[in-house]
Amino acid sequence: MRFYNIEQRKCYLFGENVAGGEDQYSTDKCMSLCKVAGMLRFCDCVPYYIPLILNAYNGTTCTLAHLECLHRNRVTLNTYSLIDSGKQGALKNRSLQCSQCLPLCNFYDYGTRHQTILLKKAYLLTENQEFLKLIGRQESDGKSNYTYESLVTLIKQTDDLSIVRIYFDSTYAILFAKRSLYNWLEILSNIGGVIGIFVGCSLISAFELIYFFIVRLTHNIRKYY
């Protein structure tokens, strides 16, 4: 795939389009940055949860004062276009120009599943007793009391509790890779094979015709005349 330029293959290989300080290109991150750039262009603000972008572009944090502008441009800010801006026509002013956010040629796909059950406080205290005691043995920072008894009391008095556990669904992942189906040499070989089957000749036969009708004929004319 590296023999083709990016405009032809429409995807990035590892190491391409990597910004400074990053190890690898991400399509999702590129689309997010494209949306932030759109917010800056239309409303001159950046969401509060992206402080690095805020510092880089010297923008202001989006507040309630920007809500009307964000609402007015919500359709454009939620519409992405991967087509080059010169070929978009009427779509150019109704979507974000994200033609640089091409997908990766090779990417991994992890299967995900989720399951939710009702959490009982008795289960929380029983299953995490050792963990709570471990926290209670840590040194206090002077602002909070992390004793085992205080944590148990906090759990009993709190209603909005949840536990999130993340596991790998499988020990392997699926790798999707884009490869060229045929190159020019394979296409030439296939054409020659088809001609050989249906016509009974090949490229070698074409060179033989050139040899007998041009080279050999010229040689015979010079020999006898």
Considering the entire predicted model, what is its pTM? 0.53
CB atoms within 10 A of CB 22: 10
Q: Give the C-alpha separation, 1 to 10, whole Å.
A: 11
117 to 1, 123, 170, 215: CA distances (angstroms) = 47, 12, 22, 86
Q: For residue 93, what pLDDT is reported?
A: 65
Helices 148-157 and 129-136: crossing angle, nearest 10°? 130
Q: Give the C-alpha separation, 151 to 137, whole Å.
A: 12
CB-based burial of residue 12 (10 Å sphere; 0-12 exposed, 13-18 middle, 19+ buried)?
A: buried
Residue 109, helix vs strand vs coil: strand
Q: For residue 53, what pLDDT is reported?
A: 60
Residue identified by tokens 């085992």 is 148
pLDDT in tens, the chain (225 residues): 777 888 888 888 887 876 655 677 888 888 888 888 888 889 888 888 776 665 566 668 888 899 999 999 988 888 888 766 555 555 566 788 888 888 888 877 777 778 888 777 666 666 666 666 665 665 555 555 566 666 667 667 667 767 777 877 777 777 777 777 777 777 777 777 777 777 776 667 777 777 777 877 777 777 776
| Rounded to 5°, angle at Cα 113 from 108 and 119 | 140
Q: Are 88 and 103 in contact (CB under 8 A)?
A: no
In sign, the C-alpha dihedral spanning 158, 164, 165, 169 is positive
Which helix (H) or strand (E) segment is 81 a member of?
A: strand 80-81
Q: For residue 48, what pLDDT is reported?
A: 80
Q: Residue 61's beta-bridge partner residues?
A: 46
| CATH of region 6-109, choose from 2.40.160, 1.10.287, 1.10.3130, 1.10.3470 | 1.10.287
Q: 78-87: long-range contacts at Cβ-Cβ below 8 A with a sequence spacing of 24 or more?
A: 80/31, 80/34, 80/35
Q: Are 190 and 202 in contact (CB under 8 A)?
A: no
The residue type found at 114 is H
- The ranges assigned to domains in the chain are 6-109, 121-157, 184-224
